[in-house]
Structures are given as C-alpha cells and as structure tokens.
Chain A
Amino acid sequence: MASKKQTLSRRRFLKGMTAAGAAAMLPCRLLVPGTAQAAAFNPDEFQVFRNACPRNCYDTCSIKSYVKDGVLQFVEGAPESTFTDGGLCVKGYSYTRRPYSPDRVKYPMVQDGRRTGKWRRVSWDEAMDMIAKKILELKKQDGSLLGLGMTKYSGNFGITNYGVEGLMSSLGYTTRFVGTPCWPAGIDAQNYDMGNMWCNDPEDMVKARYVIVWGANPAWCSVHTMKFIQEAKRRGAKVVVIDPVFTQTAAKGDVYWQPKTASDGALALGMARHILDKGLVNKDFVESHAHGFNEFADYLRKNVTVEWAAEQSGIPAQEIREVAEEFATADPATIWIGYGMQRHTNGGASVRSIDALVAMTGNIGKEGGGARYGHLQTWGFNYNAFIQKQPEGSVGFVGAAAKGEFDLTADQKTNYSDRTVNINKTAQAILDTKDPAIRMLWVSCKNPFGQDFDRPKLQKAFDTLEMVVTVDQFFNETVANSDIVLPVTTLFEEWTVNASYWHYWLSINEQAIKPLHEAKSNLEIGAALSKKMNELSPGSCTLPTEIDGKEWMAKEFNQGIHDLFGINDWTDLQKGPAKAKLASSASWHDMKFGTPSGKYEFRSDLCAEHGHKALPEFKEGRKSYDKFRLLTPHTKFGIHSQFVNLDWMKEYNKEPFVYMHPKAAAGKGITDLDMVRVFNKVGEQKARVKLTDNVAEDCLLIYEAWFGRGSDFNVQNLVDDESADMGAYKAGAPGVAIHDQFADIERA
C-alpha cells in the first residue's frame, strides 16, 4: 500500500518549482517503495518525451524523459541507440535536477554595478528596452553595429541555438568571436592530410585488432565509447593508452605509456621510422592512394630514429619498436586521436604525424581502422535560424570574415561582413579592437569566465565594456561580470535537434515541460528583442517578432537529412533516434580524399602555403616558463563549467583538488590534503592537494570546473591564451595551447 504522505521527502526537488499544484500528485509509489508488494512501475502513467543532450560531448546522448503532471520525473537513455544503449552518463542523469535547480536564473535581472551582486528583477519588456536602446545608441554613434560583440560557443549545441548568430545578423554586421578552444589544430591537420575531418563510426571499434587511445580519456569524456573498446579487448585486441596522465582510460588498457607532455609527434615519427625499417609499410595504400610518401620516408630516414624518439618522449626505444610492429601487423588497427593531445603549440603537427602513422599502415578507409578524431558528416541542416538578413542599409566590416568550424553555410556575397576576432584571445581582442571598439557584448551558450583564458585579463577587458548582456541558466562568473542576465530554457523546455561529431545518430529534442519561471529559448529572446527594436526604430531588426520554436526546428530539416537518416520527416524522430545510413562504417572507404591531389597527402603543399611544413615533420613544443607543467583537463563530473555546480552533482564531487606527485610534494614540504596555492604569471588558485603518481613528477593537474555558489575556484586564473600551431584554416582562428601551461606551487 502506497501512502501519499510518503512524498514529503520529495520536497527539496519541488523547491523553486512554479507548478506547485503538481506537487500533491507526485507518484509516491514510484519514488518511495511502500511495501514489497508495491505496484510495478507503469510507464503508462507518464508522458514520455524525446530529448537530446546538447552539451558538446562526443556522446550527444539521446534521452527519454518521463513527465507526470507537467513535471519532469526522471530521464533514461533511449534504448534505440546502439551507441548509448539505453544509458546516459553521470551528467546526463543529473539533468532531472537542472530545470528545478534553486540556483537557476529565474527572471531577467539587472545588476547595479558589476560583481556587486546587487541584482534586481526587471520585466522582459524593461530588459529588452535597455538592450535595444543601447544597440540603437551604438549604431547612431559609430555608424555601424561593429561595436556590438557576440561570443557564443558550445554550451548549447542544439541546431536552433544558432539563432543567436541569426539574431546578431538580423541586427546588422557585428563583431564575432570566432574559432574554438576545442579541437581546431587537429581539424586543420586532418584537412591537410585527408581533405576533411571524418572519423569511422565509433561502434566499429569492436572490429579493431589493435587500439591506441592517444590523448583521449573516454572513460570520462565519452563513457559510451568505452564499451566498444572493452568489447574489442574481449575479442582479443590489444589496447594501448598514451597520455601524460595515468587516466581512468589508461587504467583499463593493456599497456600504458606516459610520455613527456607534447612529445606525441616524436613518438609517432619514431614508430613510423621503425615500421619503415621493418618493411611493414602498406605498399598498396602509399602507392595507390597517397601523395608524397617517398618524401616522408626520406624525411624519416634523414631526421628520425627510434632512439631519438625515445629521448624526446621518455618511452624506451624497445617499447616504441614493439608497439609499432604490433600496430603495423594487426589488421585492422586504429588510433583514437584525442582533442587533449592537440592543445599544444605543436598540436597540429603532432596530429599530422599520427595520421601518417595510421595511413602508412593502410588503416585509413578501413572498417575497424581509422585515424579517429571527429566528423561533421551529419550536420547538413538548413541553419535557418542561423542565416538571417541584415537590415537594409547596414554598414559592416569591409573584407572577408573568418568562418567558424560549425559554419556549414555557403559564402554570402556582400560588400560588408561581420568583423571577426579570435575567440581564444577574448580578453586581448576586447582590449585591442578599435574603430569602433567593442562596447557592448552579447554572451550566450558560453561562460567565458569559466572557459576563456587569462581570467584576470578577461576581467580587465570586461570592465572596458559599456554593456554586457548574458543569456544563461545559472548565476555563473560571467553573469557576475554582466549588467543584464536573461534566463534561458533548458533542453526540456524547448524544441531543437542535435547531431554528434563522433557517432552517427540523430536525435530530436522535444519540449517536454513548459519553461520554468520566465525562461525563454534563445530564439524567443531574439524575437523579443526584435519586437522592441522595431518598436523603437522600425526596420532595425529583420528577425520575426514572434517565433514558434517547434516550427523553426522543423525548418532545419531537408531532403539530404531525410535521405541520410532514412526518415520521411522530422516527426519520425519522435519515435526514437535515427542512425545515418552509411555505405561503410569506415571514413574514406572509397579512398576519394578531399585534398587537392584527391589522395592522402603525406606531403601537403596547402599546409606549407598556410605557413607550416609540407611534411608531417617534428615540431618542438612550447618552452617551459615555470617549475611544473600545469594540465587542466576535463572532470568526469562536468563539461567545462556545466553540471559541477548542481547540488545533485556536489553530492559526489564536493570540492576541487590539485593533483601532484608525492616526490615533488615532498620537495615542497606539501602533504596530502594540504591547502596549496598554485601560481604563475597569469594568476593564482588555491585548492587542497591530493598526492598521486597518476601524474608525473614535473606535473600539476587541476580539473576544469565551476563549483557554483560559494566557490571562487577557476583554473582559468592560471591558463594563458598562447595559440596552438593550427586552426585558422578551418576554424577561423588558431587553437589554444591549453596544456602548454606552467606554474609553481606552495603550501597556502
């Protein structure tokens, strides 16, 4: 017998919820088992919706959401997807808490003095009035809207969220922060080598006989791929993990290599030399499908030895020989190139070396093989929300603007363009940009203070801005440095569609619950601003003043998407996610490469034209500027600054730590769990220390996260904005050398 009184323990969950009437009807039988004979779970008691995680993750999980009385009760993974297989991750399962978090931004609010915390609630109309008047003032004073900057990235990767860019275009030509802190060096490298970034279906990794996971940590950052690696292992494949940190993924491999950070290029070239010497090169591939292999072979013979690679990397020569031979003779063999290993001043060059290693063994274009990095094969949407016309007579930047890596639209021919600045140098770009200066900033789908580099400089830069508008779900540090915050919907409160850059599944995101409080989607915010702009100055914004999110989502579909996924209509996705119909699970299976020669290019003249070496030659890493190498990779409890702040997540991850080798700690008089201060030329950060030989002696490791209220922890206090070698070609701006950072440490 279930008793309704048992629902009391659910009170916390309901705090901050507007639909208070629904509280009395919560399914107590589900939540608190009454007796051993409690009625079985009955799915018919729920409305079930389809959602998709939009948080810039390999896995982009397809979600089933169970709603009762208008309240999201729990989420599950969609059973249809063979990639996620009915599961989510620790972050995905915390989603149930997200819309109801007491820390959500609930209404439009204005802060009287940045970082004062003196927030007051305003109506949407008042907020839009303030913003619209400022935009009109900029246009009047500057003669253009280039003084309006927009920084947006991947905090919400729903296709309709490209409506943020659409809003900016509908106002005029603005200043855009382009590029990506994520993966640009590797994207360029793969474009030079193969003509695109295109990876095998990760599900085919089970066919691999040899797997090298190089600078990736799927156990934390792509949990659903781990089962394919483990299945390959169960079928007899050897799994080698190469990482400067003994990661959770490394703990699950057969062999773990801990090379010197940023020596990946040397390691790959050393392996390549040994394969060449042993006559294990795949002749058919290098002769029929590749360009410039002989030159690469000459380079290896003249400049590379296994002993040299051993010296550069710290991995013994015998180990390099052994793994190289095993890799070259296993069929198929694959390397997963992680985004972590290219966040270096020599990252692009290193990726090219690894690509070459995979190519010379004939594993490109092969099922179960591949130099896996990422793909955008399933992103062929209309970008209807993205593509908006500027108002008549808009004045902009003269000259071409760089395009971001997710800009899949055709080039537009106009006299003017947006002005672009490097997203990886946000602070410097705000400080340096003149004629006109960036005076107003619109932030959405992004938390620059949690993500962008050189936080102390960023604060100085923001302080030069006349108005900062941030669209967010939580009062994070960027919001603290803003004047106006606008509450935005969670994935459960809006319509959109999500694709992955790793697997080949496509998922619809249905609106499952009504927006809580006064939250609006990015598209609706655009419509509200357009309405105000046109009231104050007719014709000053071309975006419609009323937008139905579902209709706009539907407009993103086209025949190409239907054909690729074998669907008749977007509504088919309401039955479950769909997988792209692939001719082969292998990328480049037809050996038709997108390079100028149409072949795999060991020698890329295009790469040389862009200021790099034509061959995948070794490139030195960044010189150290402090005592320890500082690494700030991802935590399993969050994606950049998202999730860690949720009270549900803090139950398992209460505070940040600095990880340090015991021997190095002994030299500094530091003992386990001491409070320490990590400092360098950028700034400093305090946290407690955990001693572990998971990190090398010359390394400090701090996971990137935002802990929310009551914590000032931020690794961006320690990371400068040094550029990676590549990224400008395809992503619009070079990548950033996130892992080429150095710092010192002492007891606090």
Chain B
Amino acid sequence: MKKQYAFLVDTELCIGCFTCAMACRNYYHQVEGVVWRQVYPLSEEIYPHRERAFLSLSCNHCENPECLNVCPVNAYTKREEDGVVVHHQEKCIGCGNCIRSCPYGAPKYNPEEKRAEKCSLCHERLDADLKPACVQACPTKALQLIDLATKQQTNQIQYPAGYPKMERLNPSTRFILPKMPKMVRR
C-alpha cells in the first residue's frame, strides 16, 4: 500500500477541548464562518451523556475523494507521496460542486474569496517535517497523524456510529471509541 497520511481520533483520550480547532484557526486565520476542523459532540444515543464524548473532524483525505471527482476545473489534487488531498484555491471557480458532494462536509465556502477551501493537512508543514497544527496542539495526543500503509492498532475503526459510511470514498480518518467510567450517583 502507498503511503496515506490520516488522522487518528482517539475519543477515549479526547477531552473535547477544541484546542485542535482553534490551533487550525490560529495558523490559517479562516474568515468568519469558515471552519476547517470542528469538534462534534456525540449524540446521547451514541454516548449516553451530553457533550462528554467528541469526534474531532476535518477533511478525511479520502482514497477516492468526491471533491476531486466532481471538480470541473481540476482544483483538487491528491499528492502521490502521502495521499494528502489538496485544494488549489487559485484554480477554484466557486461552483460549489465539492461542497455539495462531500458527504463529510469538509470543503467550505469562503464568502469573501467566493471560492471553496478546506483542511490542507498542513502539507507545507509536513514538508518541513512538522506535525499538522491541530495534531501538534492536542494536549492529550488524542489527535494523531498516522500512515495507513503501516500496521495499525487493532482497536481502530473506520466508521464509528454517527459518522457517514462511504466505502467508495474510503475516508482515511480512523477512530478509537470512548469508554465510560463506573458511575456512582445519588
């Protein structure tokens, strides 16, 4: 298998602190309303307590990206060397095809640029041997950068509850599920 970088979201370690999301904003200064990485609380049907378990999500850098497939002007490329899906904003015409097509909602519309944009996996940082800003920022190492070409832990899953199962796209993000403490309540 070719090298494919991916985010590993360990929800057992994740404390939902939003540090990853803000670290992204700190680095890229997205305009108001544009969020590349969001922290989503799991619904109570999935984890039985409100706002106590989370999925930190951005672009999944899919094996077969829908954004790339639907873009009429080839504004998307997938890097050969590591599988990062890159959006080239200078080529983008703002047609919105990618935004409508991505089942994970990764591409966002930038109303000031009138074009799309999304998580770059900080490829310019990767090229300088640095971690993505969100990964470096995570205080509990709940968000990690992994290479799917190497052997992974057995407790990782690809499609946790609440996350769209899109096998044709083969999203690269992997998850470890949250545990519950023993609860002693009056």
Which A residues have a C-beta under 8 Å from some C-beta of B? 3, 5-6, 8-13, 29-36, 38-43, 74-77, 84-97, 219-220, 223-224, 226-227, 230, 241, 246, 248-260, 313-316, 319, 636-637, 647-649, 651-653, 690-694, 696
Q: Using Cβ atoms and an 8 Å threshold, which residues of chain A touch B87?
A: 33
Check B186 for interface membership: any CB of A closer than 8 A: yes
Secondary structure at chain A's binding surface: helix, strand, loop or mixed?
A: mixed
Q: Using Cβ atoms and an 8 Å threshold, which residues of chain B touch A248?
A: 15-17, 52
Q: Using Cβ atoms and an 8 Å threshold, which residues of chain A touch B137?
A: 76-77, 87-88, 93
Check B45 for interface membership: any CB of A closer than 8 A: no
Chain A nearest CB, measured from B122 CB (Å):
8
Given A251-B181, A255-B184, A648-B25: A692 and B113 interface contact (C-beta under 8 Å): no
Q: Using Cβ atoms and an 8 Å threshold, which residues of chain B touch A313?
A: 186
| CB atoms of A94 and B26 under 8 A apart | yes
The CA-CA distance from A507 to B16 in the complex, in Å, is 27
| CB atoms of A652 and B52 under 8 A apart | no
Q: Which of B15-31 contact A (CB under 8 A)?
A: 15-19, 21-23, 25-31
| CB atoms of A8 and B112 under 8 A apart | yes
| CB atoms of B136 and A250 under 8 A apart | no
Chain A nearest CB, measured from B111 CB (Å):
10
The CA-CA distance from A40 to B140 in the complex, in Å, is 27
Check B67 for interface membership: any CB of A closer than 8 A: no
User: What are some 25 contacts across the A-B interface (CB < 8 A)?
Assistant: A9-B117, A10-B29, A11-B31, A30-B124, A33-B87, A33-B120, A36-B123, A41-B125, A74-B27, A74-B133, A86-B136, A88-B19, A90-B17, A93-B22, A93-B26, A94-B26, A223-B19, A230-B13, A250-B181, A254-B181, A258-B185, A313-B186, A651-B32, A652-B39, A696-B186
| CB atoms of B19 and A87 under 8 A apart | yes
Which of B16, B30, B181 touches A241 (beta carbons < 8 Å)?
B181
| Nearest opposing residue in chain B for A260, CB measure | B186
Given A94-B26, A255-B182: A6 and B90 interface contact (C-beta under 8 Å): yes
Contact bitstring B124-139, A, C-beta under 8 A = 1, else 0: 1101101001001111
Which of A13, A315, A694 touches B184 (beta carbons < 8 Å)?
A315
| Nearest opposing residue in chain A for B91, CB measure | A35
Contacts A41-B124, A87-B139, A692-B50 known; list 9 others, CB within 8 Å. A9-B110, A13-B29, A36-B77, A36-B84, A40-B127, A84-B139, A93-B137, A220-B15, A252-B15
Check B49 for interface membership: any CB of A closer than 8 A: yes
Q: Using Cβ atoms and an 8 Å threshold, which residues of chain A touch B39?
A: 652
Check B183 for interface membership: any CB of A closer than 8 A: yes
Check B170 for interface membership: any CB of A closer than 8 A: no
| CB atoms of B29 and A31 under 8 A apart | yes
Q: Using Cβ atoms and an 8 Å threshold, which residues of chain B touch A32?
A: 28, 89, 117
State the total of A-B contacts with C-beta under 8 angstroms.
199
Given A74-B27, A230-B140: A9 and B113 interface contact (C-beta under 8 Å): yes
Check B2 for interface membership: any CB of A closer than 8 A: no
The CA-CA distance from A32 to B110 in the complex, in Å, is 12
Q: Using Cβ atoms and an 8 Å threshold, which residues of chain B touch A75?
A: 26
| CB atoms of B49 and A693 under 8 A apart | yes
| CB atoms of B49 and A694 under 8 A apart | yes
| Nearest opposing residue in chain A for B54, CB measure | A248
| CB atoms of B49 and A223 under 8 A apart | no
The CA-CA distance from A39 to B124 in the complex, in Å, is 6
| CB atoms of A227 and B139 under 8 A apart | yes
The CA-CA distance from A622 to B59 in the complex, in Å, is 51
Interface size on B, residues (CB 8 A): 61
| CB atoms of A90 and B29 under 8 A apart | no
Check B98 for interface membership: any CB of A closer than 8 A: no
Check B106 for interface membership: any CB of A closer than 8 A: no
The CA-CA distance from A14 to B66 in the complex, in Å, is 34
The CA-CA distance from A29 to B67 in the complex, in Å, is 22
| CB atoms of B19 and A251 under 8 A apart | no
| CB atoms of B25 and A651 under 8 A apart | yes
The CA-CA distance from A12 to B29 in the complex, in Å, is 9
The CA-CA distance from A256 to B112 in the complex, in Å, is 47
| CB atoms of A12 and B22 under 8 A apart | no
Check B165 for interface membership: any CB of A closer than 8 A: no
Check B51 for interface membership: any CB of A closer than 8 A: yes
| CB atoms of B90 and A76 under 8 A apart | no
Chain B nearest CB, measured from A687 CB (Å):
16
| CB atoms of B136 and A259 under 8 A apart | no
The CA-CA distance from A12 to B25 in the complex, in Å, is 13
Q: Using Cβ atoms and an 8 Å threshold, which residues of chain B touch A256?
A: 181-185
| CB atoms of A259 and B186 under 8 A apart | yes
The CA-CA distance from A692 to B50 in the complex, in Å, is 6
The CA-CA distance from A692 to B44 in the complex, in Å, is 9
Given A226-B139, A651-B32: A90 and B49 interface contact (C-beta under 8 Å): no
Cβ-closest 4 pairs across A and B: A314-B186, A40-B127, A40-B128, A93-B22
Chain A nearest CB, measured from B46 CB (Å):
13
The CA-CA distance from A220 to B141 in the complex, in Å, is 15
Chain A nearest CB, measured from B89 CB (Å):
6
Chain A nearest CB, measured from B186 CB (Å):
3
| CB atoms of B53 and A251 under 8 A apart | yes
The CA-CA distance from A22 to B164 in the complex, in Å, is 44
Q: Using Cβ atoms and an 8 Å threshold, which residues of chain B touch A9?
A: 29-31, 110, 112-113, 117
Which of B18, B124, B138 touches A38 (beta carbons < 8 Å)?
B124
Check B6 for interface membership: any CB of A closer than 8 A: no
| CB atoms of B35 and A226 under 8 A apart | no
| CB atoms of B123 and A38 under 8 A apart | yes
| CB atoms of A226 and B18 under 8 A apart | no
The CA-CA distance from A465 to B53 in the complex, in Å, is 48
| CB atoms of B17 and A227 under 8 A apart | no
| CB atoms of B88 and A34 under 8 A apart | yes
Q: Which of B23-74 contact A (CB under 8 A)?
A: 23, 25-33, 35, 38-39, 49-53
The CA-CA distance from A255 to B12 in the complex, in Å, is 15
| CB atoms of B141 and A74 under 8 A apart | no
| CB atoms of A89 and B19 under 8 A apart | yes
Q: Using Cβ atoms and an 8 Å threshold, which residues of chain A touch B26?
A: 74-75, 93-96
| CB atoms of B113 and A8 under 8 A apart | yes
Contact bitstring B103-114, A, C-beta under 8 A = 1, else 0: 000000010110
| CB atoms of B110 and A90 under 8 A apart | no
Q: Using Cβ atoms and an 8 Å threshold, which residues of chain A touch B33?
A: 651
Given A12-B31, A220-B17, A647-B32: A35 and B140 interface contact (C-beta under 8 Å): no
| CB atoms of A35 and B181 under 8 A apart | no
Q: Which of B133-186 contact A (CB under 8 A)?
A: 133, 136-141, 178, 180-186
| CB atoms of B52 and A251 under 8 A apart | yes
The CA-CA distance from A258 to B186 in the complex, in Å, is 6
Q: Using Cβ atoms and an 8 Å threshold, which residues of chain A touch B113?
A: 8-9
| CB atoms of A42 and B50 under 8 A apart | no
Chain A nearest CB, measured from B30 CB (Å):
8
